[in-house]
Structure 1
Amino acid sequence: MILVKFFRSSFIILILSVLLTSCFSRYLISEKQVREHYASKDIKPEIQIIKNDTLSLCVASVGADTLPMLLLIHGAPGSLWGYMNLMDDQDLQKHFHIVSVDRVGYGKSSLKLKKKRKYVTSIATQAKALLPVFDLNHSDQKVIVLGRSYGAPIAAKMVSLVPEKVKELIMVSPVIDPDKEKFYWFSKWGRNALIQLFLPGAFNTATAEKYSHSDELKKLLPVWQTLNVPTTVIQGGNDWIADPTNIDFAKKHIKSKKAQYIFLYNAGHMITYTHLDMIKEMLLRSQLFKEKISAIDLDKDN
């Protein structure tokens, strides 16, 4: 009887592990997939590891470092390779030093803390850890910072630490409202120690971030009041990960007159893929603040 219960439990754990992995497999890109993707491409990103006594940051960059930097910060789970379509774009390569970074706890990026913790869930700590990336650029021009999903509040915090170095902040599908954190049927299973043994490390890191995210976002509230760099918030109306009302939170709490908000009624979460042309146009033509945009529906005719 005990043996039957053991096998039954093991089977359930295995099934749950497979289901959990498949739920977010689209956001996890393997090294093999990266190799296959770039096998036939002439321009491949340069991989660098920024290291000191406590920090190890993995970054991929493309474009001359004498061009203005476009810094890309991924969500959870995710990796620097989640921005391959931006890094591969030949028009952007000609105009920007494109740098995509693995956040601490993802890929080959890690941070040693005084207090031993398995995961770095602090938004402030994540943001500070990314600051050395700025030193990779030699253009003497201010940086455009783009953060997606869980990467958006980290991008905002980082910008608040060095506003003098930043030209623009773009938050795509941001998860920034502490009262709108979404949990799913599988969320609690992702915290099970046995199940975590069978899950990708990025998934476990993302789960740890999720369960502390609301509290971390509350700590971030003062940042929105003082954010004074040009800021754009882009949100999809059919986003199942970031509640669409996150854009309302942004409108309420970002006091800067240099902020604009774009609502794509029929867009989902992966706007950097589905609306690449729109984001490219913003970056290349510097149209972000030539006119105030309160909402835009680019999908209604589709």
Structure 2
Amino acid sequence: MPSFKFLRFVILVFFLSASLSSCFSRYIISAKQVRKHYAAKKIKPEERIIKNDTLALCIASVGSDTLPMLLLIHGAPGSLWGYMNLMDDEDLQKRFHIVSVDRVGYGKSRLKMKKKRRYVTSIATQANALLPVFDLNKSKEKVTVLGRSYGAPIAAKLVSLEPEKVKELIMVSPVIDPEKEKFYWFSKWGRNSFIQLFLPGEFNTATAEKYSHSDELKKLLPVWHSLDVPTTVIQGGNDWIADPANIDFAKKHIKSKRAQYIFLHKAGHMITYTHLSMIKEMLLKNQLFEDKISSIDVSSASGQMGN
């Protein structure tokens, strides 16, 4: 018969696995959930995979490819379907060719490398893998790049690689300060190789990114100093994932005079959901993108901007 210690260990493993999975289940959308979501909708994003000798990059797009591109980059964990509310918006569909991507290591996106690595934690490698998406822009206008959470620094690195192709950069709930990386009670357990067997692959990828993220962000410091496209940073005051002080880091290190900052006092991490109308207004009216430094504090619960 199995010993009491072994049974206790098994129970602990399953308890931790269930707890870890539930912590971030809201950020992982299954194929079944996607099918259910779009079952009754007339317009569904077209999913496809961009392939070359080393890369398989899964994207979902909606809107005519002759419209200006809006490129959406998710965080960790996450997926391209985390932006369904933006892709589903009829007003945005008429204005943009909306392209949401699975970063390498998430969903169906994979990268073949000379050295075998289980996870791709390099911000530079993640950004380079997204470069082929720019080739899908068939409009005469430059691309708007929006990155959320861990996707924000990757978006910034991507913009720095091809700044002439980018109209503006939007970073929402960005995790960009190498000194403000947050760890939780479950973080160390998420690194346990046995427990990882019971966890979603996206969670394990996110854990690997978390433990290398601070060092990767330090490598990114020169990017902030040279960033010269119109840039907006949006941060919530009640964000439990991205420390609200990340916006102070942005103000200190982004030297461009075409940068602006929005602090939403009562907002949490998922600003693209809780403040969708504000994000839409920014994208459709270009209200906030001006060639000057500005800093806006929004203290209302809704976070609505003026006309």
Q: Is it true that 1:168 corresponds to 2:168 in the alignment? A: yes
Q: Is it true that 1:264 corresponds to 2:264 in the alignment? A: yes
**Which residue identity does 2:227 align to in structure 1?**
L
The DSSP-based 3-state class of the residue aligned with 1:183 is coil
Q: Aligned equivalents of 2:301 and 2:94: distance in 1?
A: 32
Q: Aligned equivalents of 1:288 and 1:297: distance in 2?
A: 13
Runs of 4+ in 1 over 3 A off after TM superposition: 290-293
Q: CA deviation at 1:292?
A: 5.0
Q: CA deviation at 1:137?
A: 1.8
Identical amino acids, percent of aligned pairs = 79
Q: Kindly indicate whether the alpha-carbon contact (under 8 Å) linking 2:169 and 2:231 is maintained by their aligned counterparts in 1.
A: yes
Q: Which residue of 2 aligns with 1:31?
A: 31
Q: CA deviation at 1:136?
A: 1.4
Q: Aligned equivalents of 1:301 and 1:214: distance in 2?
A: 32
Q: Aligned equivalents of 2:64 and 2:99: distance in 1?
A: 11
**Which residue identity does 1:177 align to in structure 2?**
D
1:88-111 CA-to-partner distances (Å, cap 9, x unmatched) read 000000000000000000000010
Q: Is it true that 1:294 corresponds to 2:280 in the alignment? A: no
Q: Is it true that 1:11 corresponds to 2:1 in the alignment? A: no
**Which residue identity does 1:193 align to in structure 2?**
S
Is the deviation greater in 265-274 or in 292-301?
292-301
Q: Kindly indicate whether the alpha-carbon contact (under 8 Å) linking 1:62 and 1:98 is maintained by their aligned counterparts in 2.
A: yes
Q: Which residue of 1 aligns with 2:69?
A: 69
1:146-200 CA-to-partner distances (Å, cap 9, x unmatched) read 0000000000000000000000000000000000000000000000011100000
Q: Kindly indicate whether the alpha-carbon contact (under 8 Å) linking 1:267 and 1:299 is maintained by their aligned counterparts in 2.
A: no
Q: Kindly indicate whether the alpha-carbon contact (under 8 Å) linking 1:123 and 1:153 is maintained by their aligned counterparts in 2.
A: yes
**Which residue identity does 2:41 align to in structure 1?**
K
Q: Aligned equivalents of 1:38 and 1:220: distance in 2?
A: 38
Q: CA deviation at 1:296?
A: 2.3
The DSSP-based 3-state class of the residue aligned with 1:146 is strand
Instruction: Name the count of aligned residue pairs.
Output: 302
1:23-58 CA-to-partner distances (Å, cap 9, x unmatched) read 000001000000000000000000010011110000
The DSSP-based 3-state class of the residue aligned with 2:57 is strand
Residue correspondence of structure 1 range 85-164 to structure 2 within 5 A: 85-164=85-164
Q: CA deviation at 1:3?
A: 2.5
Q: Which residue of 1 aligns with 2:253?
A: 253
Q: Aligned equivalents of 2:162 and 2:121: distance in 1?
A: 21
1:254-297 CA-to-partner distances (Å, cap 9, x unmatched) read 00000000000000000000000001000000112247531221
**Which residue identity does 1:295 align to in structure 2?**
I
Q: Kindly indicate whether the alpha-carbon contact (under 8 Å) linking 1:60 and 1:99 is maintained by their aligned counterparts in 2.
A: yes
Structure 2 gaps, min length 5: none
Q: Aligned equivalents of 1:298 and 1:272: distance in 2?
A: 17
Q: CA deviation at 1:300?
A: 5.2
Q: Kindly indicate whether the alpha-carbon contact (under 8 Å) linking 1:160 and 1:227 is maintained by their aligned counterparts in 2.
A: yes
Residue correspondence of structure 1 range 160-199 to structure 2 within 5 A: 160-199=160-199
Q: 1:259 to 1:108 in 2, by over 3 A?
A: same
Q: CA deviation at 1:2?
A: 5.7
The DSSP-based 3-state class of the residue aligned with 2:99 is strand
Q: Aligned equivalents of 1:289 and 1:137: distance in 2?
A: 21
1:182-223 CA-to-partner distances (Å, cap 9, x unmatched) read 000000000001110000000000000000000000000000
Q: Kindly indicate whether the alpha-carbon contact (under 8 Å) linking 1:67 and 1:95 is maintained by their aligned counterparts in 2.
A: yes
Q: CA deviation at 1:301?
A: 7.8
The DSSP-based 3-state class of the residue aligned with 2:297 is coil
Q: Aligned equivalents of 1:298 and 1:249: distance in 2?
A: 20
Q: Kindly indicate whether the alpha-carbon contact (under 8 Å) linking 1:281 and 1:287 is maintained by their aligned counterparts in 2.
A: yes
After superposition, the CA RMSD in angstroms is 1.3
**Which residue identity does 2:77 align to in structure 1?**
P
Q: Which residue of 2 aligns with 1:278?
A: 278
Q: Aligned equivalents of 2:226 and 2:104: distance in 1?
A: 26
Q: Which residue of 1 aligns with 2:215?
A: 215
**Which residue identity does 2:183 align to in structure 1?**
F
Q: Aligned equivalents of 1:188 and 1:118: distance in 2?
A: 18
Give the TM-score, by structure 1 length. Answer: 0.98
Q: Aligned equivalents of 1:284 and 1:107: distance in 2?
A: 29
Q: Aligned equivalents of 1:263 and 1:252: distance in 2?
A: 15
The DSSP-based 3-state class of the residue aligned with 1:294 is strand
The DSSP-based 3-state class of the residue aligned with 2:296 is coil
Q: Aligned equivalents of 1:300 and 1:30: distance in 2?
A: 30
